[in-house]
Amino acid sequence: MILRDRFFIGGAWVAPSGKETIDVHDAGTGAVMGRVPLGDEKDVDRAVAAARGAFEAWSSTPGAERAAYLEKISANLKARADEIARLIAQEVGMPIKLSARIQAGLPIANFANYAKLVKDFQFEERVGNSVVVREPVGVVGAITPWNYPLHQIALKVAPALAAGCTVVLKPSEVAPFNAFVLAEVIEAAGLPKGVFNLVTGTGPQAGEALVKHPGVDMISFTGSTRAGKRISELASQSIKRVALELGGKSASVILDDADLPAAVKSTVNGCYLNSGQTCTALTRMLVPQNRIDDAERIAADGAAALDHVRQGGIDLVLLDLMLPGLPGTEVCRRVRELSTVPIIMLTAKDGELDEAEALDTGADDYLTKPFSYVVLVARIRALLRRGGRERPPVLDVGDLRLDPAAHRAWRGDVEISLTPRQFSLLEYLMRKAGEVVSKAEILEHVWDYDFEGDPNIVEVYIRRLRNKLDRPFGRTAIETIRGAGYRLAADGG
């Protein structure tokens, strides 16, 4: 249970004016995962006063200095990326692999990008006989949605801070915990007191209080059209600047000469991103009347296949990127969102994806044509035996750490890039730390290949793993293994 009982106002964690709280539910189970304070008009007033008090000094801070703060925030977010990914996966329901790349990754990039932009931005320039001066608006009230919570927060807070504005943030009460992590990150970065302030609450209470407040110069809102209309009405009373990003769900326009299977499948796949919680998902298709029957059939087949995956009716997925009309990488991402079913991606020798890119889409394994069907069957057997529905525990042996579910490995604080075979070998060696095993056992449990009865192939992969670890870390694989208390049997060298 996550309990947050204070707001971040004026550079300090302060108690709310009231005692009411908001339950936050786990998107996967529906259970209450934590609580946050229910902010009201008094809390908003304190936050706006802090932002107003900090504005003059912050707006006078040189752009390079503001950029340095944004870089610190980006670095601090990166240091807590795993925590953020897990937190938003619970709040929103996005699978952890995608949450790490999107929900945690994009905010890191957003703060870094605005740091870079503000360094070179010309706040004052001469145009003819005139001088154009770009000044910060003032206090910005940011009200954000729940589907990409920290990403949307970053897209409002980062440019506002870069421009010299101070901010009062009211995040979605559906997914608020990530905003508290951001507040902690900002505090650790040493941002001057009052430049960033956080108040949680509902739209009708904290949200409307922020929009109506005379000390707020601008409101930036992302959400529903209905809420946007209400914000426009309230902001108009004080002639407040308003930036509204509303609605979405635009149509996918498919013309008569389009590749119909590719266009329809891509549209259907896009609907499943973030469990359908995406404003830019194309959930309508406009197709020529004479192709409507074919489009409906292709869409129905595609949706049914993905539903079958979600319901657990498939044990393994093979995606051949060379099949015409199949957007394999998009299908892979959608399948990975819906299920932990193992995925093997197939491509040509000179295909558009390399191994790292294929695995980044969510695939568990990757094969380049031409390959032996004996090898393919063996890889399928290995994946099915390992299974994909239960998340295996993270392994810690010596200075090595390995997350089998996320397919990531670290040595100390540095991440190691490994091929699937290298990863499988290292995982097995770490699981068997302290035991004596033979090359034959490694061969059987890591790859399940015959290799024409030649277990010496293990030495090849040990050598490759050693070389991979040698370059960035300066220790051989054998030393790493022995340092962890692991040793090979006599026939293993």
As a whole number, mean pLDDT of residues 2-12 equals: 96
The DSSP line for 24-57 is EE-TTT-SEEEEEE---HHHHHHHHHHHHHHHHH
For strand 343-347 and strand 365-368, is the pairing parallel, antiparallel, or unpaired? parallel
Question: What's the confidence (pLDDT) of residue 53?
Answer: 97
At residue 351, φ and ψ (nearest 5 deg) are -65, 170
Residue 305 pLDDT: 63
Helix (H, G, I), strand (E, B) or coil at 115: helix
In a shared domain, residues 348 and 399: no
Query: Does 365 lie in the same domain as 331?
Result: yes
Kindly state whether residues 80 and 209 are assigned to the same domain. yes
Q: How many CA atoms lie within 13 A of 280 on its CB side?
A: 3
Residue 336 sits in the same domain as residue 320: yes
Q: Is residue 59 over pLDDT 60?
A: yes
**Segment holding 488, helix H or strand E:** strand 487-488
Query: What is the predicted pLDDT for the residue at 252?
Result: 87
Phi first, then psi, for residue 371 (nearest 5°) are -145, 155
CA distance 280 to 267: 11
At a CB cut-off of 8 Å and minimum separation 6, what does 412 contact?
Answer: 399
Do 169 and 200 contact (CB within 8 A), yes or no? Answer: no
| Residue 324: domain span | 251-386
Q: Does 476 have pLDDT greater than 60?
A: no
- Asked whether the predicted pLDDT for residue 40 surpasses 90, the reply is yes
Q: 405: domain CATH number?
A: 1.10.10.10
Q: Residue 368's CB: how many other CB atoms inside 10 A?
A: 16
The answer on 255 and 368 residing in a single domain is yes
Do 198 and 265 sit in the same domain of this protein? Answer: no
My answer on whether 80 and 146 are in the same domain is yes
Q: Helix, strand or coil for residue 351? A: coil
Q: Which of 41, 71, 279, 357 is catalytic?
A: 279
Q: What's the order of all strands across the beta sheet hosting 317-320?
A: 317-320, 343-347, 365-368
Torsion of CA 415, 419, 422, 423, to 10 degrees: 60
- Given 215, 231, 246, the domain boundary residue is 246
How much is the pLDDT for 408?
A: 75
Largest pairwise CA distance in the chain = 85
Given phi > 0 = left and psi -120 to 50 = alpha, else beta, which region is 170? beta
**Picking from 72-76, 229-233, 382-386, 395-399, which range would have the lowest pLDDT averaged per residue?**
382-386
Nearest alpha carbon to residue 477 among 491, 492, 490: 492
Let me know whether 380 and 349 are in one domain: yes
Q: Which domain-ending residue is among 353, 386, 419? A: 386
| Residue 411, φ and ψ in degrees, nearest 5 | -120, 110
Q: Which residue has the higher pLDDT, 344 or 114?
A: 114
Residues 462 and 348 grouped into a single domain? no
**Mean pLDDT rounded to a whole number for the chain:** 80
pLDDT, one tens digit per residue, over 231-285 is 999 999 999 999 999 876 678 899 989 888 888 887 877 776 777 677 777 778 8
**Distance in angstroms (rounded) separating the CA atoms of residues 195 and 392:** 42
Write down the pLDDT at residue 208: 95
Position 389 confidence tier, pLDDT thresholds 50, 70, 90: very low
Q: Mark whether 242 and 255 lie in a shared domain.
A: no
**CATH number of the CATH domain containing 197:** 3.40.605.10
pLDDT at position 369: 64
Residue type for position 5:
D
279 is catalytic: yes
Q: pLDDT band for position 469 (50/70/90)? A: low
> pTM of the full predicted structure?
0.64
Element housing 457 (H / E) = helix 457-473
Distance from C-alpha of 185 to C-alpha of 278, rounded to nearest angstrom: 26
What pLDDT, on the 0 to 100 scale, is given for residue 109? 93
Q: Are residues 101 and 149 in the same domain?
A: yes
Could you tell me if 291 and 232 lie in one domain?
no
**Count: domains in the chain:** 3
Give the model's pLDDT for residue 284. Answer: 81
Known catalytic residue: 332? no
Domain boundary among 246, 275, 305: 246
- Active-site entry in 41, 184, 187, 245: 245
